[in-house]
C-alpha cells in the first residue's frame, strides 16, 4: 500500500457525546497539568529539562482512544501527556517532575524517564529516536508471544531524521511487526523548522521505500486522530505489519523551558492558538452539538483543576528520596 | 482568592532577571497562555505566559527593574468575581511560601553518611564442585558457547538469539551452528546489517518479556549500537525506580583478530566495564565460556559477554554435567604462586599462564588470576593474592590508558598499599590504532614475553 495523504474533512462520522466529553476532559487535564508543570518549573520546584506538550493534546488522546488494554506505548522526552493518556496517576507523574519519593521512578528518572509496567508505558526516553527501535522491539515481543497486542511508538519530526528510525522501519516491515509509528510533527525540531532539516517534508511518506503505508492526519483534531489511529491499529493487529501516522500538530511553548522560541513569530503561535486549538475545537463541537452546556464544561474544568492542584501539592509534599536510594535499582539483585 | 504571579525561572540556572517589559496593564483580563511580560536573563529574552486566568489587579514590579529574584511576586491577579481594587500587595512579596518546599540543602550526602555501597555483588560464591570422577568433555570454546545457548533455549521459551548471519549461515564464526535446525527461524533470527536498530529492538523485546541474546558479528560493530547498550539497557532499571528490568545478553568476539586492521581489532573491556547497570564477562576457556554464558542468559540484567575470535577454536575440558552454570563476578585462580600476581582476562589468560611457566623456570613463582568477570570485578581475590605475593602485573589486550589494568592497580594500591613491594605494572597494547603490517601488529599487541618482562621487573629480577 502506498503512502497517501488523508485530507478528508474531519466532519465525517462524529463521535458520540460520552466520547467527546472524555476527549475534552483528557485534553484539558493534559493542558492544565503542563501549565502547572511550567509554573512549578518557574518556582524552581522542577529542574533540569522539562518539555511541555501544550498544543499537541489531540494526538495522544486520539491515539489512546483507538488502543486496547495491554497495548504498549513508548515515546521520547515530551512524555507527560502520554503518561496521563495511559492512565498513570497525575500525582506520581508530577512528583517525579519534582524529583520526589512519590514519583513514578522514586525521583531517579525525572521528566524524561518514567515508566509503568502496570499501564504498559515503556518510557520516557531522552535519546532522540531511541524509542523507535525500542518500540519496534516491544512489537517484536508481541508477535513472538502471539498475544495480538500492538505497540505504539511516538516520535517527533526531529527524530524522523535519525538513522535508527529507518533501521527499525526496515525490520518492522520485513517481519510485519505490529507497531504503529506516530510522528508528532509539531513543525520544529527544537529550533529547526521541518523544511530546513528534511529533504522530504511529508514525513508520512518516509516508510514508502520499506512498503509501510503512511497517512497524514490533522493532529489538532482529536476525532480525525482517533479515526486514523483505529485504522492503523487494526492494520497492525491484523498482522499486516507497521503503519505510519504523521500528525500535523503544534507546540505552543518552547522546545524546553529554557527555549525562548525566537525561530517563529508570535503571530504564528497566536494564529494556531486562536484558530486551531484542539481543546477549543472539541468544546465547540460539544456546545454546537448540544452535548454539553458551558456550565457542564465549567464543572469539568473545575474538577480537572482540582486534580492538577492536588497533584502539585502531592509533588511538593512528597519527601526527597532517601539517601539509600542512591544505590538501589542499579542491578536486579540475584 | 487572589493569585500571585511569581518571577519564573526560565532556565535551570537562572536566579534573577530583568523585567524588561509588561505586555499587560492593571485591569486587563488574562487567560492562561497569554503572554504577559518579557524577561531578560543572562542568556536570552523570554516571554512569560500567564498560567492562571484572572484580572490584573496590580503590577508589583516596574518595567525595566533589574535583578528581580526568581519566585518574587511580580503581579497579582484577581479571580472571577473578585474586585481587583480591594486586593493588597502581599506583605512580603519576595518571600514565596512555595519555595520552602524546594530542596535548599546540598542534596549530596557527605561520603561517610552514604549507606554502605553494595559490595560489588561478589559475595562468597564460588564455582560448583565437580564431583569426583565426573567425565570431562573436550570442547572448543565455540561449541561451548553454542551448547550454552542451546541448553538455555531448551529450558526457556523466551530465550532467542538474533544477529547478522546467526541462522542460515550458521554464524559468521559458527558459534550459532545448528541452532536454526533445532529451534527454527522464530527463535534464531537473521537480522539485516543494522546494529543500532537490532540492538534497540532487542532491548525493547527484553522490556516486553523476552530474553534476547544479541550477537554482534564483532564488538567493533557494536559501537553503532552502544547507545542502546548503555542508555537503553544499562540505565533504564535505575531511571524507572526498579520497574523496568532488561534481561538481555550482548555477545560476540571482542579484541584483535589477526591482520584485520584497526577498525576490526579493538578491545572494549574497559569501555563496558566502566558502566553501572551492566554486567561484563570475558571468559578464557571453554568451561568458563559455557558456565558463564548460561549464567548470563539467566541473569535478569543486561550482560555484555566479550568473546575472542582467536580462542574460538581452542579446545578445553568441560565438565560433562547436566547443568554447568558458574557464578558471575568471581575470578578464578588458575595457578597458585607466591612471588607475583598476574591478572588477565580473555585471551590474555593463556599468555599469563605461559608466562608463569617461563617464570617458574627462572625461579619466580607466579599466581595467575583469570578475572572472568570485569563488572562486578572480584577485587577480593586480587587483593588477597597481592597480600601474599606483594607484587602485581595486570595484563590486558586493549589500550592501557584508563584501562582494566589501571583500575586493578588503583584498587590494589588503595586496599593493599602496605603489602606492595613494587609499584603495580600494566601490560597492554601500544597506544596506537592496531596496524595491519604483520611485524607492526606483533609489536603493538601484548603477549607472553611482555608479561614475563613485567613480572621480572616487579620482582627486581632483571
Select from 3.50.50.60, 2.60.40.10, 2.40.50.100, 3.40.50.2300 the CATH code of B3-101: 2.40.50.100
Question: What are B236's three cell numbers?
Answer: 533504564
Residue with cell 532517601: A322
Mean pLDDT of chain A: 95
- How far is it, in rounded angstroms, from Cα B42 to Cα B23? 21
Q: Which CATH number characterizes residue A300's domain?
A: 3.40.50.970
> In 10 A of CB A289, how many CB atoms?
13
State what percent of residues in chain B have pLDDT above 70. 90
Q: Does A156 touch chain B (CB under 8 A)?
A: no
C-alpha dihedral sign at A166, A168, A174, A180: negative
Residue B121 confidence (pLDDT) above 60: no
Residue A111 is assigned to a structural domain of this protein: yes
Interchain contact B177–A (C-beta under 8 A) = no
> In this complex, do A163 and B121 lie within 8 Å of one another by their Cβ atoms?
no
Q: Which of A49, A130, A331 is closest, CB to CB, to B231?
A: A130
Q: What is the 3-state secondary structure (H, E, C) of chain B?
A: CCEEEECCCCCCCCCEEEEEEECCCCCCEECCCCEEEEEECCCCEEEEECCCCEEEEEECCCCCEEEEECCCEEEEEECCCCCHHHCCCCCCCCCCHHHHHCCCCCCCCCHHHCCCCCCCCCCCCCCCCCCCCCCEEEEEHHHHHHHHHHHHHHHCCCEEEEECCCCCCCCCCCCCCCHHHHHCCCCEEECCCCHHHHHHHHHHHHHCCCEEEEECCCCCHHHHHHHHHHHHHHCHHHHCCCCCCCCCEEEEECCCCCCCCHHHCCCCHHHHHCCCCCEEECCCCHHHHHHHHHHHHHCCCCEEEEECHHHCCCEEEEECCCCCCCCCCCCEEEECCCCEEEEECCCHHHHHHHHHHHHHHCCCCEEEEECCEEECCCHHHHHHHHHHHCCEEEEEEEECCCCHHHHHHHHHHHHCHHHCCCCCEEEEECCCCCCCCHHHHHHHCCCHHHHHHHHHHHCCCC
pLDDT tens digits along B394-444: 999 999 999 999 999 999 999 999 999 999 999 999 999 999 999 999 999
What residues make up the domain containing A189? 4-314
pLDDT in tens, A22-35: 999 999 999 999 99
The helix/strand/coil state of A116 is: strand
Instruction: Measure the N-to-C terminal CA separation of chain B; round to a whole number of Å.
Output: 87
> Which residues pair with residue B49 across a beta bridge?
B35
Answer whether residue A10 shows pLDDT above 60: no
Instruction: Give me the sheet containing A243-248, strands edge to edge.
Output: A4-5, A214-218, A243-248, A179-185, A151-156, A72-75, A121-124
For A148-194, what is each residue's pLDDT tens digit? Answer: 999 999 999 999 999 999 999 999 999 999 999 999 999 999 999 99
In a domain, A327, yes or no: no
pLDDT tens per residue, range A45-77: 999 999 999 999 999 999 999 999 999 999 999
pLDDT of residue B87: 61
Report the CATH number of the B332-458 domain. Answer: 3.40.50.920
The pLDDT of residue B209 is above 60: yes
What topology does CATH give the domain B136-319?
Rossmann fold (3.40.50)
Per-residue confidence (pLDDT) for residue B79, from 0 to 100:
78
Chain A hits for B9, CB-CB cut-off 8 Å, are 41-44
Cβ atoms A29, A307 nearer than 8 A: yes
Instruction: Please check whether residue A254 lies inside any domain of the structure.
Output: yes
What is the phi/psi pair of residue B402, to 5°? Answer: 55, 35
Q: What is the pLDDT of residue B32?
A: 76
From the list B145, B193, B148, B209, the residue with the least C-alpha distance to B173 is: B145
Burial of A230 (0-12, 13-18, 19+ CB in 10 A): middle
Q: Which of A234-243, B95-104, B247-256 has the lowest mean pLDDT?
A: B95-104
As given in the structure block, the three cell numbers for residue B373 are: 568477570
Taking CB atoms and an 8 Å cutoff, what residues of chain B touch A130?
Answer: 200, 227-228, 231-232
Q: Average pLDDT, stretch B2-23?
A: 84
Q: What integer best gives the mean pLDDT of chain B?
A: 90
The answer to whether B394 and B427 have CB atoms below 8 angstroms apart is yes
Q: What average pLDDT does this structure show over B273-302?
A: 98
Query: Hey, which residues does B212 pair with through a beta bridge?
Result: B160
Best of A173, A331, A332 to disrupt the B interface (most B CBs within 10 Å) is A331
Q: What is the phi/psi pair of residue B297, to 5°?
A: -65, -35
Instruction: Provide the pLDDT confidence category of residue A13 given band limits of 50, 70 and 90.
Output: low
What is the least distance, in Å, from the CA of B27 to any CA of chain A? Answer: 22
Which chain A residues have a beta carbon less than 8 Å from that of B107?
A: 320
Q: How close does chain B come to A51, measured CA to CA in Å?
A: 12
Residues 6 or more apart whose CB falls under 8 angstroms from that of B448 comprise B351, B354, B355, B358
Q: Is residue A333 part of a domain?
A: no
* pLDDT of the residue at B97: 42
Angle between helices A57-65 and A278-288 (to 10 degrees): 60
Query: Which H or E run contains A123?
Result: strand A121-124
Which residues of A fall within a CB distance of 8 Å from B201?
A: 133-134, 136-137, 140, 168, 171
Predicted model pTM: 0.88
The neighbour count for residue B212, using CB atoms within 10 Å, is 30
Residue B123's pLDDT band, with cuts at 50, 70 and 90, is very low
Q: Do B113 and A105 touch (CB under 8 A)?
A: no
The pLDDT of residue B98 is above 80: no
Would the ipTM clear 0.90, i.e. be above it?
yes
Place of cell 492503523: A232
Residue B11: what pLDDT?
Answer: 75
Q: Is the pLDDT of residue B380 over 90?
A: yes
State the pLDDT confidence band at A6, using cuts at 50, 70 and 90: low
Which residue in chain B is spatially nearest to A167 when comparing CA positions?
B197
- Catalytic sites of B, residue numbers: 195, 264
Cross-chain Cβ contact B205/A104 below 8 Å: no
Give dist(CA A82, CA B222) in Å, integer.
31
Q: What is the pLDDT of residue B95?
A: 44
Instruction: Report, as an integer, the average pLDDT of A215-235.
Output: 98
> Is the minimum CB–CB distance between B160 and chain A shorter than 8 Å?
yes
Q: How far is A141 from chain B (nearest CA, A)?
A: 5
Residue B89 has pLDDT above 60, yes or no: no
CB-CB under 8 Å, B208 with A127? no
- Whether A326 maps to a domain, the answer reads no
pLDDT value at residue B352: 98
Vertex B279 angle, CA B277 and B280, to 5°: 135
CA pair distance A252, A263, nearest whole angstrom: 13
Chain A residue nearest residue B42, CA to CA? A258
Which of B 68-87 lie inside 8 A of A, CB atoms? Answer: 70-71
- Residues pairing with B315 in the sheet: B140
**Percent of chain B topping pLDDT 90:** 74
CA–CA separation, A36 and A241 (whole Å)? 39
pLDDT in tens, B306-353: 999 999 999 999 999 999 999 999 999 999 999 999 999 999 999 999
Residues 206-225 of B with CB under 8 A from A: 206-210
Return the C-alpha cell found at A221.
483534531
Pairwise CA distance, residues A243 & A1, whole Å = 10
The answer to whether residue A277 is domain-embedded is: yes
Note whether A142 contacts B208, CB cutoff 8 Å.
yes
Helix axes A90-97, A17-42, angle to 10 degrees: 20
Q: Is the pLDDT of residue A90 over 70?
A: yes
pLDDT single digits (tens) A280-333 = 999 999 999 999 999 999 999 999 999 999 999 999 999 999 999 999 999 999
Whether the pLDDT of residue B136 is over 80: the answer is yes
Report the chain B residue with the minimal C-alpha distance to residue A112.
B239
Look up residue A39 and give its three cell numbers.
509554573
Instruction: Nearest chain B residue to A126 by CA: give it.
Output: B231
For the four alpha carbons of B35, B38, B41 and B44, in that order, the dihedral sign comes to positive
Cα distance between the two ends of chain A: 48
Residue B49's pLDDT is: 79
Asked if A19 contacts B75 with a C-beta cutoff of 8 angstroms, the reply is no
* Interchain contact, A171 vs B115, CB within 8 Å: no
Mutation choice for A interface testing from B47, B201, B303 by most A CBs within 10 A: B201
How many distinct structural domains can be found in chain A?
A: 1
Task: List the domain boundaries for chain B.
Answer: 3-101, 136-319, 332-458
What pLDDT was estimated at residue B119?
42
A329 at B interface, C-beta within 8 A: yes
Q: Is B363 on the interface with A (CB under 8 A)?
A: no
> Number of helices (H) and strands (E), helices first, in chain A?
11, 9
pLDDT digits (tens, 9 = 90+) for B356-378: 999 999 999 999 999 999 999 99
**Which residue of chain A comes nearest to B7, CA vs CA?**
A42
Alpha carbon of residue B390 to chain centroid: 31
Confidence (pLDDT) at B107: 46
Amino acid at each position: 500500500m502506498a503512502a497517501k495523504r488523508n485530507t478528508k474533512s474531519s466532519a465525517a462520522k462524529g463521535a458520540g457525546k460520552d466520547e467527546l466529553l472524555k476527549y475534552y476532559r483528557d485534553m484539558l487535564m493534559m493542558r492544565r497539568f503542563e501549565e502547572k508543570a511550567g509554573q512549578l518549573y518557574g518556582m524552581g520546584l522542577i529542574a533540569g529539562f522539562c518539555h511541555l506538550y501544550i498544543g499537541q493534546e489531540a494526538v495522544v488522546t486520539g491515539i489512546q482512544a483507538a488502543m486496547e488494554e495491554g497495548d504498549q506505548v513508548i515515546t521520547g522526552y515530551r512524555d507527560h501527556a502520554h503518561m496521563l493518556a495511559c492512565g498513570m496517576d497525575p500525582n506520581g507523574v508530577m512528583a517525579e517532575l519534582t524529583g520526589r519519593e512519590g514519583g513514578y521512578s522514586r525521583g531517579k528518572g525525572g521528566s524524561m524517564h518514567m515508566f509503568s509496567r502496570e499501564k504498559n508505558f515503556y518510557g520516557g526516553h531522552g535519546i532522540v529516536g531511541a524509542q523507535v527501535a525500542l518500540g519496534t522491539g516491544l512489537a517484536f515481543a508481541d508477535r513472538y508471544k502471539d498475544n495480538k497486542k500492538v505497540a505504539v511508538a511516538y516520535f517527533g519530526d526531529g527524530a524522523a531524521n535519525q538513522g535508527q528510525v529507518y533501521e527499525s522501519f526496515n525490520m518492522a516491515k520485513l517481519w510485519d511487526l505490529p507497531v504503529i509509528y506516530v510522528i508528532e510533527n509539531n513543525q520544529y525540531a527544537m529550533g529547526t523548522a521541518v523544511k530546513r532539516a528534511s529533504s522530504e517534508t511529508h514525513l508520512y511518506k518516509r516508510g514508502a521505500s520499506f512498503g509501510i503505508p503512511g497517512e497524514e492526519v490533522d493532529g489538532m483534531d482529536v476525532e480525525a486522530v482517533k479515526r486514523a489511529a483505529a485504522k492503523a491499529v487494526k492494520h497492525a493487529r491484523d498482522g499486516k505489519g507497521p503503519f505510519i501516522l504523521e500528525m500535523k500538530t503544534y507546540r505552543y511553548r518552547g522546545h524546553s523551558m529554557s527555549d525562548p522560541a525566537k525561530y517563529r513569530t508570535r503571530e504564528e503561535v497566536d494564529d494556531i492558538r486562536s484558530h486551531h486549538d484542539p481543546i477549543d475545537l472539541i468544546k465547540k463541537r460539544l456546545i454546537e452539538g448540544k452535548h454539553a452546556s458551558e456550565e457542564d464544561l465549567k464543572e469539568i474544568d473545575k474538577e480537572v483543576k482540582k486534580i492538577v492542584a492536588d497533584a502539585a501539592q502531592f509533588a511538593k509534599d512528597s519527601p526527597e528520596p532517601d539517601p539509600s536510594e542512591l544505590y538501589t535499582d542499579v542491578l536486579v539483585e540475584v | 482568592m487572589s493569585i500571585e504571579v511569581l518571577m519564573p525561572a526560565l532556565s535551570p540556572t537562572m536566579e534573577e532577571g530583568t523585567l524588561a517589559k509588561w505586555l499587560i496593564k492593571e485591569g486587563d483580563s488574562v487567560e492562561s497562555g497569554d503572554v504577559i511580560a518579557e524577561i531578560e536573563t543572562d542568556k536570552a529574552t523570554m516571554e512569560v505566559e500567564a498560567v492562571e486566568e484572572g484580572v490584573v489587579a496590580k503590577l508589583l514590579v516596574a518595567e525595566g527593574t533589574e535583578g528581580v529574584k526568581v519566585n518574587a511576586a511580580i503581579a497579582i491577579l484577581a479571580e472571577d468575581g473578585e474586585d481587583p481594587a480591594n486586593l493588597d500587595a502581599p506583605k512580603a512579596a519576595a518571600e514565596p511560601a512555595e519555595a520552602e518546599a524546594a530542596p535548599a540543602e546540598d542534596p549530596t550526602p557527605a561520603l561517610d553518611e552514604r549507606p554502605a555501597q553494595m559490595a560489588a555483588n561478589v559475595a562468597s560464591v564460588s564455582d560448583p564442585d565437580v564431583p569426583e570422577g565426573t567425565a570431562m568433555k573436550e570442547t572448543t570454546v565455540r561449541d561451548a558457547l553454542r551448547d550454552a545457548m542451546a541448553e538455555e533455549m531448551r529450558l526457556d521459551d523466551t530465550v532467542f538469539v538474533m544477529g547478522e548471519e546467526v541462522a542460515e549461515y550458521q554464524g559468521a564464526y559458527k558459534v550459532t551452528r545448528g541452532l536454526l535446525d533445532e529451534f527454527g527461524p522464530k527463535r534464531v533470527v537473521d537480522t539485516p546489517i543494522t546494529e543500532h536498530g537490532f540492538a534497540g529492538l532487542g532491548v525493547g523485546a527484553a522490556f516486553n518479556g523476552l530474553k534476547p541474546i544479541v550477537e554482534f558479528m564483532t564488538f567493533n560493530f557494536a559501537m553503532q549500537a552502544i547507545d542502546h547498550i548503555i542508555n537503553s539497557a544499562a540505565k533504564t532499571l535505575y531511571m524507572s525506580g526498579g520497574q523496568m528490568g532488561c534481561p538481555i545478553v550482548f555477545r560476540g568476539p571482542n579484541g584483535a583478530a589477526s591482520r584485520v586492521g584497526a577498525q576490526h581489532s579493538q578491545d572494549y573491556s574497559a569501555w563496558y566495564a566502566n558502566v553501572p547497570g551492566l554486567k561484563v564477562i570475558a571468559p578464557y576457556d571453554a568451561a568458563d565460556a559455557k558456565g558463564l554464558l548460561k549464567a548470563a542468559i539467566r541473569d535478569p540484567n543486561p550482560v555484555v559477554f566479550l568473546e575472542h575470535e582467536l580462542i574460538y577454536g581452542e579446545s578445553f575440558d568441560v565438565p560433562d554435567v547436566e547443568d554447568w552454570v558458574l557464578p558471575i563476578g568471581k575470578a578464578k585462580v588458575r595457578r597458585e604462586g607466591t612471588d607475583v600476581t598476574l591478572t588477565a582476562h580473555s585471551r590474555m589468560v593463556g599468555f599469563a599462564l605461559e608466562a608463569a611457566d617461563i617464570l617458574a623456570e627462572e625461579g619466580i613463582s607466579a599466581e595467575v588470576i583469570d578475572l572472568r568477570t570485569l563488572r562486578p570485578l572480584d577485587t577480593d581475590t586480587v587483593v588477597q593474592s597481592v597480600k601474599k605475593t606483594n607484587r602485581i602485573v595486570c595484563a590486558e589486550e586493549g589500550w592501557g590508558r584508563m584501562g582494566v589494568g589501571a583500575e586493578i592497580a588503583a584498587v590494589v594500591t588503595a586496599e593493599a598499599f602496605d603489602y606492595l613491594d613494587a609499584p603495580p605494572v600494566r601490560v597492554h597494547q601500544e597506544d596506537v590504532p592496531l596496524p595491519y603490517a604483520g611485524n607492526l601488529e606483533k609489536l603493538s599487541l601484548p603477549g607472553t614475553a611482555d608479561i614475563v618482562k613485567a613480572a621480572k621487573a616487579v620482582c627486581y629480577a632483571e
